[in-house]
Amino acid sequence: MKNIDSKSHVRGESVYLDDIPLIHGTLFACVYDSPVAHGKLLNIDTSQAEISEGVVKVITAKDLFGENQIGGIIPDEPLLAYDEVHFQGMPIAIVLATSEDLARKAARKITAEIEPLEIITDPRVAAAKGELIVPPKKFKMGDADKAFATCEHVFEGRADINGQEHLYIETQGAYAVPTENGGIKIYSSTQGPTAVQRAVCKVTGWPMHQIEVDVQRLGGGFGGKEDQANAWAAICAVGTQLTRRPVKYALHRMEDMRMTGKRHPYSADYKIGLNKDLKIISYEAVFYQNAGAACDLSPAVLERTLFHCTNSYFVPNVTATAYSCRTNLPPNTAFRGFGGPQGMFVIESAIAHAAEKLGMSASEIQAKNLLENGDEFPYGQRTESEAITSWKQADAKYDFARLQREADEFNAASRYFKKGVALMPVCFGISFTKTPMNQARSLVHVYTDGSVAVSTGAVEMGQGVNTKIAQVAAKIFGLPMEKVRLHTTNTLRIANTSPTAASAAADLNGQATQMACETIRHRLFEVAKDLVEAETVRDLSLEGGFVHRRGERTSLDWQTLVMDAHLKRVNLSEHSHYATPGINFDWTTAKGHPFAYHVYGTAIVGVTVDCLRGRYEIDYVKCCHDFGSSMNTSVDNGQIEGGIVQGIGWMTMEEVVYDAAGKLRSNALSTYKVPDIYSVPKEIAILPLATDRENLAIFNSKAVGEPPLMYGIGAYFAIRNAVKEFKSSPPYEGGVAAASADGVVLSFDAPFTPEKVLMNLYKT
Ligand code: MTE
Ligand code: MOS
């Protein structure tokens, strides 16, 4: 079944923030942001901006009625800088003008006197200076130290992983409209309507019931709008509070890239110990997370790095320590995988390191250490593992040995082009690791004409959550999809929402919808029972728009039943609440059962590297993926394809570059390369894992939003394998002699851009 938005997307009729008709008198905001990464803010001169054409107001920190604070986890992030600036791009002043152009023109006339302070961009430097966002976090199982002494092989190294720009097609933005009695309605491009509402309340000083946040859909979020949509909504709200006029701000691409945070770069040290049978006996990792200048969601992201630091492997002795390091970069934030991918990259590096030293394929070590059913994760939860099953089913379907042999044969015959193959198993936990966030609500109305309206806390951002929720309602009422309509995500209809994140939106909001629909259906059955002379409601079902009695269609159709129920004064609406059962986590012991379930999968990735130019192509990504039992294969396959391409982009061509002064050099699409149609894998094959295990997902259809991104990590190691092939084959005539491939000759440093590939090919 197609995504319900596909037609309006293709026709350009889908409504995004920028498509909302503007109200007469709307003002446009633009921010003056810090030109330096760290300094004392001595003076702000807004005088020239104030007399600039079309300007209605210039706002600085001193004009705010409420608190100058938008920090979620820790209150460490002023909306507008007042005494210090902490990163380049930090908002200092807001200009409101009668047009977008005039607002931008005026903002450029603002100047600030800033006394420079020391700039830190490296998380290890920050850690050494004690610049931590929160105290370090630790996971411990067994005794890693002791266990290393018993290991046959021990390897130590370092892995560096860069950030990633979200590059949602729709940039950040908001539109605030005054309502009566001092209220504000805010249209926001946010994954977290309630997060926006809270931030707006803080800076305006108004109570939550005065602020309505409404979200139609996003042109992509990918985590970048989980928390970081708040500032722009707060800016618009403050503008509306001070002028009582509608205020809109939609960021230009370069403003967005400069002012918003990205995926967290990490630097990590690892130590891995194996016994003679290649079982990983002990693993130690220290993670330095580059949090940027404020907390944002960094501690939660850091936690997920720990949760996924052993990926799909069982390791009996683990010590993992993680530091969230404060630097002078824009605060980094959620990004598909939420810190998990970085944790996985490090253990995959450690395994590749061991394999290279031992002169074997990493897949030999991977295969020997996959989680078995009932194995314990370092955080105490036991797994219902599909790690081995997904590996075996992928192997049976794609034949890993054959793919490797094909690459070997190609390499033997080719001097300048080399193929590399790598396997990438993935295990990803589903649920917010902060247990209280695992709740959702749904409001279902059945109207007297038989049409159904559903509102939930889920935000549609291209991932198809609205399609899945509509499917839930359609299925329970036995109606065609056209009878069900999903409405905007709105804080008046659904309050206290968790953001649409952690891949859990369909599970949480879908199950709340299921409950609401079942409640209404039960009431309808009570009415229908007499009409169709059934003995008990248990004999009744709804299918194809008709009431069925013991599986046989009756003459009572849906619409007649609904109208009859209404005339009998039966409630045709329901507001239901769902909270994931059975989950918990205790940070004092760092143990618990944080996840409703895990999603497993195994991918094999093949690449061809052009060893003269450093360029490469991704030949294929073939995976066996654990969907549980997918309720929408078209939406889910789309998530797999998109996730894989985004993961490959992060691992290969996307390079976020800040210079030592904390200035973003990759600040536009001319200097930041994301995958295009020419760089996607030539083949993506998806095999659904065959399993009949029950799980806690909606209709047994497991969450799919984030896990596939991590298959992309395989591309890094496949390229690495191709590069090693070249370096271990004889140098071509007249060329530069390549280094021999004995031992580890390459550092682990993602992304593997073509430039880095080239330098590695000829580094001696
Ligand atoms: N797919 C599209 N098309 N656009 C997005 O912004 N975000 C991803 C993923 N897939 C995203 C996407 C992220 S980061 C998450 S957490 C999930 O979707 C959130 O939606 P879900 O909970 O409904 O899976
Ligand atoms: Mo996704 S990173 O949890 O928004």
Report residue 39: phi and psi, to 5°. Answer: 180, 165
Mean pLDDT of 576-584: 98
* Per-residue pLDDT, 740: 42
Assess whether pLDDT exceeds 70 at residue 351: yes
131 is a catalytic site residue:
no
Residue nearest to atom 12 of ligand 1 (CA): 463
Assess whether pLDDT exceeds 70 at residue 734: no
Q: Is the CB of 226 under 6 A from ligand 2?
A: yes
The predicted-structure confidence for 158-215, as pLDDT tens digits, reads as follows: 999 999 999 999 999 999 999 999 999 999 999 999 999 999 999 999 999 999 999 9
| Pairing of the two strands 183-188 and 211-215 | parallel
* Per-residue pLDDT, 727: 85
Assess whether pLDDT exceeds 60 at residue 563: yes
Compute the mean pLDDT over every residue in the chain, rounded to the nearest whole number: 96
Mean pLDDT of 495-506: 98
Q: Is the CB of 185 under 6 A from ligand 2?
A: no
pLDDT confidence bin for 453, thresholds 50/70/90? very high
Q: Give 686's strand partners.
A: 623
pLDDT confidence bin for 717, thresholds 50/70/90? very high
Q: Is the CB of 437 under 6 A from ligand 2?
A: no
List the beta strands (DSSP E) in 641-682.
none
* Per-residue pLDDT, 763: 73
Concatenate the DSSP letters of all residues of 217-258 into one string: --S--TTTTTSTTHHHHHHHHHHHHHHSS-EEEE--HHHHHH
* Helix, strand or coil, per DSSP, at residue 674: coil
* Higher pLDDT, residue 63 or 740: 63
Cα separation, 764 vs 762, in Å, equals 6
Report residue 132: phi and psi, to 5°. Answer: -110, 140
Burial letters 689-709, b for 16+ CB under 10 A, else e: bebeeebbbbbbbbbbbbbbb
pLDDT confidence bin for 729, thresholds 50/70/90? confident
Cα separation, 754 vs 161, in Å, equals 16
706, 725, 733, 755: which is the annotated catalytic residue? Answer: 706
Contact 426, 312 (CB under 8 A): yes
Q: What lines the ligand 1 site, CB under 6 Å?
A: 220-223, 336, 461-463, 465, 500-506, 639, 642, 703, 705-706
Cis-peptide into 136, omega within 30 deg: no
Mutation test residue for ligand 2: of 165, 190, 225, 226, the one with most atoms within 8 Å of CB: 226
Assess whether pLDDT exceeds 50 at residue 13: yes
Cα separation, 75 vs 732, in Å, equals 59
Mean pLDDT of 332-339: 98
Task: State which H helix or E strand residue 56 sits in.
Answer: strand 55-59
Contact 701, 511 (CB under 8 A): no
Q: Is the CB of 166 under 6 A from ligand 2?
A: no
The predicted-structure confidence for 648-680, as pLDDT tens digits, reads as follows: 999 999 999 999 999 999 999 999 999 999 999
Concatenate the DSSP letters of all residues of 351-395 into one string: HHHHHHHHTS-HHHHHHHTBPPTTPBPTTSPBP---HHHHHHHHH
Cα separation, 333 vs 300, in Å, equals 10
pLDDT confidence bin for 738, thresholds 50/70/90? very low
Residue 502 CA to ligand 1 centre (angstroms) = 8
Contact 239, 188 (CB under 8 A): no
* Per-residue pLDDT, 739: 41
* Helix, strand or coil, per DSSP, at residue 591: strand
Strand order in the sheet with 616-625: 417-430, 597-610, 616-625, 683-688
Mutation test residue for ligand 1: of 191, 227, 503, 641, the one with most atoms within 8 Å of CB: 503
Q: How many residues does the chain have?
A: 764
Q: What angle do CA 479, 484, 490 make, to 5 degrees?
A: 150
Assess whether pLDDT exceeds 50 at residue 735: no
pLDDT confidence bin for 476, thresholds 50/70/90? very high
% of the chain exceeding 90 in pLDDT:
96
Contact 689, 600 (CB under 8 A): yes
Burial letters 505-544, b for 16+ CB under 10 A, else e: bbbbbbbbbbbbbebbbebbbebbbeebebeebebbbbee
Amino acid found at 457: G
Report residue 524: phi and psi, to 5°. Answer: -65, -40
Residue 226 CA to ligand 2 centre (angstroms) = 7
**Tokens 């396997």 sit on residue:** 423
Contact 273, 281 (CB under 8 A): yes
Mean pLDDT of 504-523: 98
Residue nearest to atom 4 of ligand 2 (CA): 223
* Per-residue pLDDT, 707: 98
pTM for this one? 0.97
Assess whether pLDDT exceeds 80 at residue 430: yes
The predicted-structure confidence for 111-132, as pLDDT tens digits, reads as follows: 999 999 999 999 999 999 999 9
Residues 6+ away with beta carbon under 8 Å from 728:
740, 741
Question: Measured on CA atoms in the order 642, 654, 188, 576, is the torsion positive or negative?
Answer: positive
* Per-residue pLDDT, 733: 44
Q: Is the CB of 223 under 6 A from ligand 2?
A: yes
- Proportion of the chain in helix, strand, coil states, percent, rounded to 5: 35, 25, 40
The predicted-structure confidence for 25-67, as pLDDT tens digits, reads as follows: 999 999 999 999 999 999 999 999 999 999 999 999 999 999 9
Residue 482 CA to ligand 2 centre (angstroms) = 29
Contact 503, 705 (CB under 8 A): yes
* Per-residue pLDDT, 73: 95
Assess whether pLDDT exceeds 60 at residue 743: no
Q: Which of the ligands is closest to the CA of residue 646?
A: 1
Strand order in the sheet with 748-750: 137-141, 317-326, 280-292, 266-274, 153-161, 748-750
Cα separation, 626 vs 648, in Å, equals 20
The predicted-structure confidence for 586-639, as pLDDT tens digits, reads as follows: 999 999 999 999 999 999 999 999 999 999 999 999 999 999 999 999 999 999
pLDDT confidence bin for 728, thresholds 50/70/90? confident
**Tokens 């049976």 sit on residue:** 396
**Tokens 């039966």 sit on residue:** 570
% of the chain exceeding 70 in pLDDT:
98
Ligand 2 atom nearest the C-alpha of 223 is 4
Residue 704 CA to ligand 1 centre (angstroms) = 8
* Helix, strand or coil, per DSSP, at residue 638: helix
Of 98, 650, 544, which Cα lies nearest the Cα of 642? 650
pLDDT confidence bin for 647, thresholds 50/70/90? very high
Paired tokens of 148: 């290393």
Ligand 2 atom nearest the C-alpha of 334 is 2
Q: Give 41's strand partners.
A: 114
* Per-residue pLDDT, 764: 61
* 743 CB neighbour count, 10 Å cutoff: 10
Mean pLDDT of 746-753: 93
Ligand 1 atom nearest the C-alpha of 465 is 23
Mean pLDDT of 386-402: 98
Assess whether pLDDT exceeds 50 at residue 742: no
Mean pLDDT of 438-461: 98
Residues 6+ away with beta carbon under 8 Å from 454:
442, 443, 444, 445, 469, 470, 473, 484, 485, 486, 487, 513
Residue 11 CA to ligand 1 centre (angstroms) = 22
Q: Is the CB of 636 under 6 A from ligand 2?
A: no
Mean pLDDT of 489-495: 98
DSSP state of 628: B
The predicted-structure confidence for 196-211, as pLDDT tens digits, reads as follows: 999 999 999 999 999 9
Cα separation, 366 vs 713, in Å, equals 14
Q: Which of the ligands is closest to the CA of residue 457?
A: 1
Cα separation, 74 vs 225, in Å, equals 18
Residue 145 CA to ligand 1 centre (angstroms) = 39
* Per-residue pLDDT, 746: 76
